[in-house]
Chain A
Amino acid sequence: MNLAYRDIRHNLLRFVLTNLGLSLLLGIVIMITGVYGGLVNDAVRQARAAHADLWVVQAGTNGPFAQGSRIPGDTRDLVARVYGVAKAGAVTYQSVQTELNGKPLRFFLVGFEPGRPGSPTSLIAGRDILRDHYEMIVDRSSGLKLGQVIPLGTHAHEFKIVGLTEGQVTSSGDAVAYVTLRDAHALQFELAPPAERREVARGGGSGSSDQINAVIAKVSPHVRIDEVAAALSRWKHLTTLTEAQQETLLSKFVIQKARSQQLMIMVLLVIVSAVIIALIIYTLTMDKVRSIATLKFIGAPDRTIVGLVVQQALSMGIFGYFTGLVLVLVFKPYFPRRLVLDPQTVGIVFAITVVVCLAASTLGIRLALKVDPAEALAGTG
């Protein structure tokens, strides 16, 4: 006879209401885990989206994401000629902000050379960029639709959305957008008309530059990547990073502070959950003191009493966890940033919940074991 189950069934409404509150709390723990996973995943995805074998950046920098990197545009030709490099593409990265329907819209803008490494892949809708100017591919998290036109840059050039990607956002949650390298240069260096007039008056150029942030190299499958990296590193004005190094930079260093903050919030939430679960179990056990005393009086062993408390704690934790998980999965699409819940992390949170429930039930167990069987004789109805 499972006493925990019978007690839950008898007080079903109380159990459900208590668990609803607990599921919200555990849902927040799961959500923060998802935010943490999203943070790391988004950071790494940013680099992975380029499908690079090697990143060639300014010497002495960890560019282009962790640090600023600026190299001449013709570096791409130099890299492409190195033995083992199958393809090379120049890329620029910049954050841009525009306004659409009175609301600010932020992008992480990638300038790329169509047909070369660095181009967007895995479009979920639309097509690749086919024209040299004013076409854009953007992540659907931006909320933009195919065919929509948005103004960008100091001259408010109108860019038409021709393609959509999915799951390409920065670690800060901004959608990634792709334009041609030429457009990216224009957006980066083009001056506002008054500033341009002043620059021309003082004899300067018209605000254009052939600077890029990095060269992305694809290595031939017949040549080892580290050999090519070693060859490229002989150029003292450039630094070469492998894809793995770039991912490490992004996941470990670029978002280190944010990771620590998320981790701290997670730890605090787990502690708060443990305290709340412990208090709930303690209160539930307090409500059952007379029943526990009666059970002891009629000869129930300690393991029956402990089983009653532990099984209820576990039922509560498991029910709360899965309800919380369902709530997170239901509301995930409406969350302002991407949540990544991989099965391993979800499993770890479940294991933590179980451990927390077991630890939290010790308070209730202590109380239950201290109940004197003679309390069953106390004269109340």
Chain B
Amino acid sequence: MEPLAKEPVVRIEHLSKHFGEGSAQVDALRDIDLTVYPGQVVGLMGPSGSGKTTLLNCIACIVEPSGGRITLDGDVVYDEAWLTSDLRRLRLDKIGFIFQYPNLLPFLDGTDNVAIVLNLAGYGGSAARERAADLLEYLDVAHRKHAMPGQLSGGEAQRVAIARALANRPRIILADEPTAPLDSERARIVMDLLRRIAQEQDAAVIVVTHDEMILDRFDHIFRLRDGRLELEEDRTRPRRPGTEP
């Protein structure tokens, strides 16, 4: 994993997270180091309970780590303690999150589900709706912009959710099994989209997945085993002829 002559967007150093105390303590994450550069798409794999979602939640500033250091977009946000009091604002400004299920707000239509992030970020009503409409267009779901979440297919809902994650132009995009509810073709389309966004917006994309079919869409694949992170594959290195891509 060579530096790309750019500052990393996500840098995790010696990150640990344990739950419980004493003999009941469970180490969910142990001494994790992870660096993701702009434009990179990183996959996190591992069996259930290996700590993938906990790591994602720590990066999303949802779960407080037990130790280590987190640097997001050049700012150290955690160093043995949170260094910022407004994690909500940090999430809003720097992080876009794509859930396993779209998690759209059931009482807002497609456009408003995207525009709400912009409203929270301070955009005015019409500006927010314009940007939301552009994003839905970009994600090829503009024809469903007035549909309520209950009226959207799984793929359409997931694309609206991706539009919401991208709305505030975040430098970090975290995705928790975004292709789980989709068939393989749609899963590939979503991953291609994330790759495109990473390139176009110079964003770091971290994807938790179990889906073997989409592994070729990652630059690096990490595997979490018993709370430890191992680099499984670096797809950015040139391969010797005759080896599997």
Contacts and interface: CB of A to CB of B under 8 A. Distances in A.
Q: Please tell me the size bucket of the interface on A.
A: 20 to 34
Interface in A290-317: 290-291, 294-301, 304
Contacts of B120: 298-301, 304
B82 interface: no
Given A373-B62, A376-B99, A377-B100, A298 B91 contact: yes
A290 B103 contact: yes
A298 B116 contact: yes
A155 interface: no
B91 A297 contact: yes
Given A298-B91, A304-B120, A6 B97 contact: no
Nearest to B115: A1
A3 to B, nearest CB: 7
A3 B57 contact: no
A374 B176 contact: no
A344 interface: no
A300 B97 CA distance: 14
Given A1-B112, A376-B99, A377-B100, A300 B88 contact: yes
A381 B57 CA distance: 20
B119 A1 contact: yes
Nearest to B89: A299
A304 B125 CA distance: 16
B103 A294 contact: yes
A6 B107 contact: yes
A9 B107 contact: yes
A298 B115 contact: no
Contacts of B112: 1, 6
Q: Is the interface of A mostly helix, strand, loop or mixed?
A: helix
A110 B120 CA distance: 71
A7 B91 CA distance: 24
A304 B116 CA distance: 11
Given A1-B115, A11-B107, A298-B117, A379 B97 contact: no
Given A1-B116, A377-B53, A295 B105 contact: yes
Contacts, number: 71
Q: Please tell me the size bucket of the interface on B.
A: 20 to 34
B108 A6 contact: yes
A291 B106 contact: yes
Interface string A263-301: 000000000000000000000000000110011111111
Nearest to A373: B62
A237 interface: no
A291 B107 contact: yes
B147 interface: no
B209 to A, nearest CB: 14
A380 interface: yes
Interface in A343-381: 373-374, 376-377, 379-381
A10 interface: yes
Contacts of B99: 294, 376-377
A325 B177 CA distance: 53
Interface string B96-133: 01011101011110001001110111000100000000
A12 to B, nearest CB: 11
Contacts of A381: 101, 181
Nearest to B88: A299
A344 B191 CA distance: 64
A304 B105 CA distance: 14
B103 A374 contact: no
Contacts of A299: 88-89, 91-93, 117, 120-121
Given A377-B57, A377-B100, A297 B62 contact: yes
A229 B112 CA distance: 76
B161 to A, nearest CB: 10
A295 to B, nearest CB: 7
Given A296-B88, A299-B117, A376-B99, A10 B62 contact: no
A379 B53 CA distance: 12
B107 A374 contact: no
B48 to A, nearest CB: 11
B57 A374 contact: yes
B148 interface: yes
Given A1-B116, A377-B53, 13 more contacts: A1-B108, A1-B125, A6-B108, A291-B105, A295-B105, A296-B88, A298-B117, A299-B93, A301-B120, A377-B176, A379-B100, A380-B101, A381-B181
CB-based closest 6 A-B pairs: A299-B92, A10-B107, A7-B107, A6-B107, A299-B91, A294-B103
21 contacts: A1-B116, A1-B119, A3-B105, A6-B112, A7-B107, A10-B107, A295-B105, A296-B88, A297-B91, A298-B92, A298-B120, A299-B89, A299-B92, A299-B117, A299-B121, A300-B116, A301-B88, A301-B120, A376-B103, A377-B62, A381-B101
Interface of A: 1, 3, 6-7, 9-11, 290-291, 294-301, 304, 373-374, 376-377, 379-381
